[in-house]
Chain A
Amino acid sequence: MMVQHNISAKKEGIETQTIVLEIKDLYKSFGDNHVLNGFNMKLHQGENLVIMGKSGSGKSVMIKCLVGLMEADRGSISVMQNDITTLNQEALDILRADIGFLFQGSALYDSMTVRENLEFPLRRHTKKFDGAIDTETLIVEALENVGLVDAIDLMPSELSGGMKRRIALARTLILRPKIILYDEPTSGLDPITAKEIIILMQDIQKKYNTSSLIITHDVDCARVISDRMILLIDGVDYAVGTFKELSALKDPKVRAFFKQ
């Protein structure tokens, strides 16, 4: 029998904040492989919510359903009071300007320079800046945030893994999103660079008051950055609470995560 632990988040004020993202009863299968079996979550304004799960537990599937890259079989996904499962393409594209997505492998466009990579999202979202858009200023500002202004004319192939991740973060930031989704932000990076990325994520959250949903299986990353955590086990939100609360649980499935 499945046991679900729901421990209320203790961070001051979080429970009373506006919900910017909510998933209710999400189901997704690939043939006989039932990846999500009624997953639920809420992300509050200004919160850093970490979702942890084993490889193949459906974390990336869930986050892709969230931005409409995959279609869920059942359930509702509400992003800033918009049910994305019912939005048409145009409305979804407008909403996506408020959602930043940092991909696991950075996903920089290989054939474009760093400048062109950052310019790319601006092409379709000029309305967000009331038409008065100074591309160069936005690009430089985004690169300053990640400390890589000098890389502006480099190609992605000339960047290290950590630099690519930073540039990808700058590209995510350029549209000034209200919510940032991080898919394994520290995977494939050495511990020092991973720590730098985590610090960068914290700085960005403070500077822009964004809400962050972080998918990871890196316990250190979760410990440092999370206000609240959800353990995704067997396709459901198996345990919810702060890092401290969850790490104190005796449930063997939960313990398995913190033994690392």
Chain B
Amino acid sequence: MFGINKIKPRIDDFLVEIGALSYFSGRFFREVFKRPFEFKELLRQCFNMGNRSLLLVGITGFIIGLVLTLQTRPTLQEFGAVSWMPSMVGISIVREIGPMITALVCAGRIGSGIGAELGSMRVTEQIDAMEVSGTNPFKYLVVTRVLAITLMLPLLVVVGDAVALYGSYLVEHLKGDVSFNLYFNQVFDSLEFGDIIPATVKSFFFGFAIGIVGCFKGYYCNKGTEGVGKAANSAVVFTSLLLFVIDFIAVFVADIFYEL
């Protein structure tokens, strides 16, 4: 009984937070189609989130491609199946590893950034100042950021996938003397639309989750500078958890479509 009493407030808080996040997401969908549209700010955010994450996503993808190939090669060699390497790496990167790793990297970089930025704006009354000046801060700050990361993440995933495959090719080239054309022909031969479409759709949801959680945590930040740190931190933790839940649902739904 004692244990339940201790956990109950935490569960209550968690459910309240989920409710508030759902309401916040609902407000996003109500505001996104309303005028005035903040195109200039949207483009600025797309640039900030997309362009400035490219290097990080690229480096992460490259290392993942290298490591995945290096780790898998000995096992495939044992079974005499090294020729399957491009197909195996291609499918695993495009379907799962690429979107997930890119989303996790972006949750760390962009999600925490949004949480900290909006949190800081909240505690320094910048959001209030915006509201007093007649600008809808939700539309200007939240809608633009959520849209930007939702649109940019699939593009970052494509870049991440491409660089990861290139990393994998480099290992294969060095260790197995495989040519660029041969490697990528095998990769693309093994890929189907059924691999690419669910991964792309999933990336939009990942982007939305990163944006909405980061904005939610920052927008309702309180308790001064301590609150800003907490907002940034909990944005990353909550988003990471949510990404895995979305990934599970996406795989589950895609599986149903495969069977049909």
Residue B71 interfacial (CB < 8 Å): no
Q: In the bound complex, what is the Cα–Cα distance between A105 and B130 (angstroms)? A: 14
A residues 19-37 touching B (CB-CB < 8 Å): none
Q: Which single member of A96, A109, A110 contacts B134 (CB below 8 Å)?
A: A96
> Which residues of the other chain, B, contact A93 by a CB distance below 8 angstroms?
134
Tell me if A104 and B134 are in contact (CB < 8 A): no
Q: Which single member of B117, B120, B124, B135 contacts A120 (CB below 8 Å)?
A: B135
**Chain B at the A interface: mostly helix, strand, loop or mixed?**
helix
Tell me if A101 and B129 are in contact (CB < 8 A): yes
> Which residues of the other chain, A, contact B129 by a CB distance below 8 angstroms?
101, 103, 107, 109
> Which residues of the other chain, A, contact B120 by a CB distance below 8 angstroms?
110
Q: In the bound complex, what is the Cα–Cα distance between A103 and B132 (angstroms)? A: 10
Q: In the bound complex, what is the Cα–Cα distance between A96 and B129 (angstroms)? A: 11
Q: Which residue of A lies closest to B129 (CB)?
A: A107
> Which residues of the other chain, B, contact A111 by a CB distance below 8 angstroms?
117
Q: Which residue of A lies closest to B123 (CB)?
A: A105
Residue A69 interfacial (CB < 8 Å): yes
Q: Which residue of A lies closest to B38 (CB)?
A: A123
> Which residues of the other chain, B, contact A107 by a CB distance below 8 angstroms?
124-126, 128-129
Residue A206 interfacial (CB < 8 Å): no
Residue A97 interfacial (CB < 8 Å): yes
Q: Which residue of B lies closest to A121 (CB)?
A: B133
Residue B131 interfacial (CB < 8 Å): yes
Q: In the bound complex, what is the Cα–Cα distance between A130 and B136 (angstroms)? A: 22
Residue A143 interfacial (CB < 8 Å): no
> Which residues of the other chain, B, contact A255 by a CB distance below 8 angstroms?
none
B residues 39-65 touching A (CB-CB < 8 Å): none
Shortest A212–chain B CB gap in Å is 16
Shortest B144–chain A CB gap in Å is 12
B residues 111-155 touching A (CB-CB < 8 Å): 117, 120-121, 124-126, 128-136
Q: In the bound complex, what is the Cα–Cα distance between A60 and B202 (angstroms)? A: 45
Q: In the bound complex, what is the Cα–Cα distance between A94 and B129 (angstroms)? A: 15
Tell me if B132 and A69 are in contact (CB < 8 A): yes
Q: Which residue of B lies closest to A120 (CB)?
A: B133
Shortest A63–chain B CB gap in Å is 11
Tell me if B126 and A96 are in contact (CB < 8 A): no
Q: In the bound complex, what is the Cα–Cα distance between A137 and B125 (angstroms)? A: 27
Shortest A139–chain B CB gap in Å is 14
Q: In the bound complex, what is the Cα–Cα distance between A96 and B134 (angstroms)? A: 6
Residue A99 interfacial (CB < 8 Å): yes
Residue A64 interfacial (CB < 8 Å): yes
Q: Which single member of A96, A97, A105 contacts B125 (CB below 8 Å)?
A: A105
Between B126, B131, B136, the greatest number of chain A beta carbons within 10 A of the residue's beta carbon is seen for B126
> Which residues of the other chain, B, contact A89 by a CB distance below 8 angstroms?
136
Q: In the bound complex, what is the Cα–Cα distance between A52 and B136 (angstroms)? A: 31
Tell me if A109 and B132 are in contact (CB < 8 A): no
A residues 171-202 touching B (CB-CB < 8 Å): 171, 175
Q: Which residue of B lies closest to A93 (CB)?
A: B134
Shortest A118–chain B CB gap in Å is 11
Q: Which residue of A lies closest to B120 (CB)?
A: A110
Tell me if B128 and A96 are in contact (CB < 8 A): no
> Which residues of the other chain, B, contact A124 by a CB distance below 8 angstroms?
133-135
Residue A215 interfacial (CB < 8 Å): no
Residue A108 interfacial (CB < 8 Å): yes
Q: Which residue of A lies closest to B125 (CB)?
A: A107
Residue A67 interfacial (CB < 8 Å): yes
Tell me if A96 and B133 are in contact (CB < 8 A): yes
Shortest B117–chain A CB gap in Å is 8
Q: Which residue of B lies closest to A92 (CB)?
A: B134
Residue A125 interfacial (CB < 8 Å): yes
Tell me if A109 and B131 are in contact (CB < 8 A): no
Q: Which residue of A lies closest to B44 (CB)?
A: A111
> Which residues of the other chain, A, contact B126 by a CB distance below 8 angstroms?
107-110
Shortest A122–chain B CB gap in Å is 9
Q: In the bound complex, what is the Cα–Cα distance between A177 and B134 (angstroms)? A: 13
Tell me if A64 and B128 are in contact (CB < 8 A): yes
Q: In the bound complex, what is the Cα–Cα distance between A257 and B131 (angstroms)? A: 33
> Which residues of the other chain, A, contact B117 by a CB distance below 8 angstroms?
111
Known: A105-B125, A109-B126. A99 touches B134 (CB 8 A): no
6 pairs from A and B in contact (CB 8 Å cutoff): A69-B131, A69-B132, A107-B124, A107-B126, A109-B126, A125-B134
Additional 7 contacts, C-beta under 8 A, given A67-B132, A89-B136 = A105-B124, A105-B125, A107-B125, A109-B130, A121-B135, A171-B133, A175-B133
Q: Which 8 A-B residue pairings sit nearest by Cβ, starting from the closest? A: A121-B133, A107-B129, A124-B134, A93-B134, A107-B125, A101-B132, A103-B125, A96-B134
User: Taking beta carbons and an 8 Å cutoff, which residues of B are in contact with A?
Assistant: 117, 120-121, 124-126, 128-136
